Amino acid sequence: MSTPPNAMSGAAVDSQTTASALASTTHPFYWSVRRELWEYRSIYIAPLAAAAVFLVGFLISTIHLPKKMRDLAALDPMRQQELIQQPYIFAALLIMGATFVVAFFYCLDALQGERKDRSILFWKSLPVSDVTTVLSKATIPLVIIPLLTFAISVVTIWIMYLISSVVLAGSGVGAGALWSRLPLWPMTVTLFNHLIFIHGLWYAPFYCWLLLVVSWARRMAFLWAVIPVLTLNALEKVALNTSHFASILSYRLLGAPHHAHSAGYVSMDQLDTARAMELLASPGLWIGLIVAAIFLAMAVRLRRYREPM
């Protein structure tokens, strides 16, 4: 006895409806991101450790802070502001450096680790699509890590500010010069712009390239990520005697242009809101995002059909 075609189509529709209802109630993307945070604790432990180490060193250095503030009084206001801001900018750079390394090695393991221990068989048995899985993994370096870095950096800067104020007030020097020469709000806005636009959006092609490589490579993902880049650069140099590919990579890696038609680059203390909007309107940013989307689409397809190791 054969099953009528309309019954089979009805069963398929019911199955799809049930799967959609299950996905909407369980929020697979949210829990996939939570899973990454549970499995890769270095995502938040590394920046917290970097911030803690720096705060210990900064606390020790405050012994000489009153003398330093007296010496700064003889300098011009611009130089005073520059020297006062230095430890705060360095703290943010240290935390950003730690999270950048974490993001790099996270991408190298995100789609390869589950194939090494064959846990991908379990994860694929769940009602979570490959698109959801890959996008949740890409969300970590593109969104979660920049926002986490921003939060930890801001808290660290405020702790440094409070420690300095207490030390100066207790020494009789007073914290007035510190308050007037340390623009915390502009520093916070600039830090947010740098992390979101540079570490999140501008570096997106690098992170997505790593995710693509680890979804294909069985082992030595780092070499497979680097060797094609070096090979293309060498081939262009030998065949055409040009270095356009290397220029594109350095342009993308060193930072974003401070203007769409400029050859300069933006440092962390220069990316104010106006320049961030210029960056958002620059073709280079959107070309990079399109390339990143292509890499992610290829990673989804490879995860769907690639067998465990």
Give pLDDT tens digits for 262-307: 433 444 455 667 777 888 888 888 999 999 999 999 998 888 776 6
How much is the pLDDT for 13?
A: 44
Choice between 300 and 244, residue whose per-residue pLDDT is larger: 300
d(CA 288, CA 283): 9
Q: The tokens of 25 are what?
A: 């109630």
How much is the pLDDT for 111?
A: 75
Q: Characterize 267-302 residue by residue with b for buried, 16 or more Cβ atoms within 10 angstroms of its Cβ, and e for exposed.
A: ebbebeeebbebbeebeebeebbeebeebbebbbeb
Check if the beta carbon of residue 257 is closer than 8 Å to that of residue 264.
yes
13-42 per-position pLDDT tens digit? 444 555 455 455 568 888 888 888 888 899
Give domain limits for the chain. 30-305
187-238 per-position pLDDT tens digit? 888 899 889 988 899 999 999 999 999 888 777 888 888 888 888 888 888 8
From 133, 117, 91, 113, select the one nearest 42 (Cα to Cα).
113
What is the CA 292 to chain-centroid distance, rounded? Answer: 14
Q: Which pLDDT band holds residue 12 (cuts at 50, 70, 90)?
A: very low
How much is the pLDDT for 1?
A: 45
Choice between 133 and 80, residue whose per-residue pLDDT is larger: 133
Q: Which pLDDT band holds residue 120 (cuts at 50, 70, 90)?
A: low
Q: Which long-range contacts (CB under 8 A, 24 or more apart) does 246-253 make?
A: 251/284, 252/202, 252/203, 252/205, 252/206, 252/284, 252/288, 253/203, 253/206
DSSP conformation class of 264: -
How much is the pLDDT for 29?
A: 85
Between 204-216 and 283-305, two packed helices, what is the crossing angle to 10 degrees?
A: 20
How much is the pLDDT for 243?
A: 82
Check if the beta carbon of residue 257 is closer than 8 Å to that of residue 263.
yes
How large is the average pLDDT for residues 104-112? 86
From 133, 290, 148, select the one nearest 214 (Cα to Cα).
133
d(CA 165, CA 173): 10
d(CA 97, CA 111): 23
How much is the pLDDT for 274?
A: 74
Q: The tokens of 166 are what?
A: 């207490």
DSSP conformation class of 73: T
In 167-306 the beta strands, taken as DSSP E runs, fall at: none
Check if the beta carbon of residue 140 is closer than 8 Å to that of residue 40.
yes
38-74 per-position pLDDT tens digit? 888 999 999 999 999 999 999 998 888 878 877 777 7
d(CA 247, CA 297): 26
